[in-house]
Structure 1
Amino acid sequence: MPSEFDLIYRHFAHLGAGPAVELSVGDDCAILKLEPGERLITSLDTLVEGVHFLPDTFPEIIGYRAVATAASDLAAMGARPLGMTIALTLPDAEEFWVHSFSQGLAEAVSEYSLPLVGGDTTRGPLTVSVQVMGAVPVDQALLRSGAQVGDEVYVSGTLGDAAGGLAFLQDEWRPSRDAAAYLVERHERPTARLALGQQLLAVATAAIDISDGLLADAGHIAAASGVAIELESAALPVSPALAEAGERAITWALNGGDDYELCFTLPTGVPAPEGCVRIGTVVAGEGVQIDADIDTGAGYQHF
């Protein structure tokens, strides 16, 4: 059985090069460099087998998805990606599994310009923790707390696709073959909207990535900003694939989570970036309201 260091150098050491990396895998710490006038931001996400991905998920998908979901936090802050570290807990050091996992990581490293600059491996239940690091200008960052009464609420992409894909994988509904393939792809391989986050940096008043469901995450903006958000059900962007689910499509769009699209607020009159849709308004008050009789639920909660 390969040692911890054999695994690291064989499968992960080549993923550590990047423009912000001065020292990568191989020492006690990595060294990253910031440009003048920037500050460091960091975030940590953990994926646990049976909680965040199904037990029979291919390791390539786990590797890619772990990075994409963590990178989405950088997108929500408008950050330029610098690098990441990974803590990988494995039941055993099965060489083929680790190699396949590293292939998913390699694709994500390239896609999101997030070199792997360090980490740790240990024995235990399958768990992947990814810490991402990024940079923002010293006087700028997208926060949840800046929404103002009168702002318009937008989202990128379409909502509910990941929930629909998971429901299919769990045999809870049967869409058409093409729809199923699309929705499963959206669930297993989410897209971190890094370019959009950086585009919004100078114009958005608040932002968050949608990981726990639109209602829950819009609620975080409302709470942090001391405002209320009114959503328009007819404006929610739903893909043709998810629309096959009928009334459930809107419920999944509101509560499903794992979309990793961005929800953000813009002052009235500021044009939204391409691919983004207005879904509501910021008003005085608290919480999130929707103009339809829908079982809104509470979004995803760990406890």
Structure 2
Amino acid sequence: MAAGEFDLIARYLTPAPPSAAAGVALGVGDDCALLAPQPGQQLATSVDTSVAGVHFPAEAPPAAIGHRALAVSLSDLAAMGATARWCLMALTLEAPDEAWVAAFSEGFHALCDATGTALVGGDVTRGELAVGVTVLGEVPAVGALTRGGARPGEVLAVTGALGGGAGGLALWQRGERDLAHPLLRRYLLPQPRLAAGQALVGLASAAIDVSDGLLADLGHVLVASGVGATLDEAALPAAEGLGEALGEAAARRAVLAGGDDYELLVSLPQAYLASATQALAALGLSLTPIGRVTAEPGLRGVAAPGLGGWQHFGEAP
């Protein structure tokens, strides 16, 4: 007999013990979880839905799907400078495949453990394969990084490298299946920059995670802050091996608009750049200046017609 949703939840989606995490008064198994944020902290929360064939290949390793579904939501907490605390997960399956769920949960729980995130509830239902993950974190009441804090004269900088997510997707579509390939790992096993976001609190004025492409996400910051920007395209850090894998033109598109990188794009005063760079270097992560914030609206320094980034209901970039 195939396992029902309650069996799957009990066997694979319930942490053991369910209330071991700090701040969890009641975890998986009741109508609601009961959580206790720490005094003086604001609650930061975000939700993402990952749909097979849109956000990940349905035939991808289930452990990678589990990791990725949580990582993309945690990346939003990273962009706010928040500490991850809890998550809820809604899993939609076409059939109750226990082996698939076991591997999926292994990837999901491994990232929970690595980031200190407690799974405290969710749902399992029948339908097209999709994973919805809600994350909850904490950030000091006056410390959250937002999109609206960039000021003219500040430096724009990005963590890590760009284009790797799009490069990995392109390789997967060509038939590459070796998860040891660095570009494929960037796509299927992204690493949310939680520690980097926390290190940038008090240094950065604005931040966003690069999920839909550098140009699109930078655009959100410029609109929210009421400013413009000049980019130095030559300074943009491309993922290692991207040009060799895609060719020069496609690699440029991936860096500017490819999405799925989950790096942090920040605006910060020039006076804080050295401190921010040192703080991230201590985490083994680079911070690369890529431009300046300007008072004049608009984006200058890069010619990118048609490279608007990913939109679910827009034309493909």
TM normalised by structure 2 equals 0.90
| Identical aligned residues as a percent | 47
Letter in 2 for 1:132: V
Equivalences, count? 299
* Corresponding residue of 2:10: 9
Shift of 1:180: 8.2
Shift of 1:179: 11
Moved more, 81-90 or 14-23: 14-23
Letter in 1 for 2:173: Q
* Corresponding residue of 1:248: 250
d(CA) in 1 for partners of 2:180, 2:106? 24
d(CA) in 2 for partners of 1:238, 1:78? 24
* Corresponding residue of 1:222: 222
Match of 1:257 among 253, 256, 259: 259
Letter in 2 for 1:284: A
d(CA) in 1 for partners of 2:161, 2:306? 18
1:222-247 CA-partner distances (Å, limit 9, x unpaired): 00000001111110001331131323
* 2:27 is the alignment partner of 1:24: yes
d(CA) in 2 for partners of 1:180, 1:101? 19
**Equivalent residues in 2 for 1:102-251, closer than 5 Å:** 102-171=105-174, 181-244=181-244, 245-251=247-253
Is residue 251–residue 295 contact of structure 1 (8 Å, CA) maintained in 2? no
**Equivalent residues in 2 for 1:68-83, closer than 5 Å:** 68-83=71-86
Structure 2: gaps spanning 5 or more residues: none
* Corresponding residue of 2:42: 39
Is residue 64–residue 104 contact of structure 1 (8 Å, CA) maintained in 2? yes
1:275-303 CA-partner distances (Å, limit 9, x unpaired): 110000000122333x2444451100100
Equivalent residue of 1:150, what SS? Answer: coil
d(CA) in 1 for partners of 2:23, 2:161? 33
d(CA) in 2 for partners of 1:48, 1:127? 4
d(CA) in 1 for partners of 2:173, 2:178? 17
Equivalent residue of 1:220, what SS? Answer: helix
* Corresponding residue of 1:281: 292
Go from structure 1 to structure 2 and tell me whether the alpha carbon gap of 1:294 and 1:257 turns closer, same or farther (over 3 Å shift).
same
Letter in 2 for 1:246: E
Consecutive aligned runs of 4 or more in structure 1 exceeding 3 Å deviation:
177-180, 292-296
Letter in 1 for 2:5: E
1:32-76 CA-partner distances (Å, limit 9, x unpaired): 211111111110000000100112111111100000110000000
Equivalent residue of 1:70, what SS? Answer: helix
Go from structure 1 to structure 2 and tell me whether the alpha carbon gap of 1:9 and 1:216 turns closer, same or farther (over 3 Å shift).
same
1:193-245 CA-partner distances (Å, limit 9, x unpaired): 00011111111100000000000000000000000011111100013311313
1:164-192 CA-partner distances (Å, limit 9, x unpaired): 111111129x9xx9998110011000010
1:132-191 CA-partner distances (Å, limit 9, x unpaired): 00011112210000000000000000000110111111129x9xx999811001100001
Letter in 2 for 1:214: L
d(CA) in 2 for partners of 1:114, 1:10? 19
Go from structure 1 to structure 2 and tell me whether the alpha carbon gap of 1:178 and 1:67 turns closer, same or farther (over 3 Å shift).
closer
* Corresponding residue of 2:68: 65
Match of 1:53 among 56, 59, 64: 56
Equivalent residue of 1:301, what SS? Answer: coil
d(CA) in 1 for partners of 2:311, 2:109? 30
d(CA) in 2 for partners of 1:159, 1:100? 29
1:81-120 CA-partner distances (Å, limit 9, x unpaired): 1100000011111111111111111111112111110001
TM normalised by structure 1 equals 0.94
1:6-30 CA-partner distances (Å, limit 9, x unpaired): 1111101126432222211011111
Structure 1: gaps spanning 5 or more residues: none
Go from structure 1 to structure 2 and tell me whether the alpha carbon gap of 1:53 and 1:152 turns closer, same or farther (over 3 Å shift).
same
Go from structure 1 to structure 2 and tell me whether the alpha carbon gap of 1:161 and 1:103 turns closer, same or farther (over 3 Å shift).
same
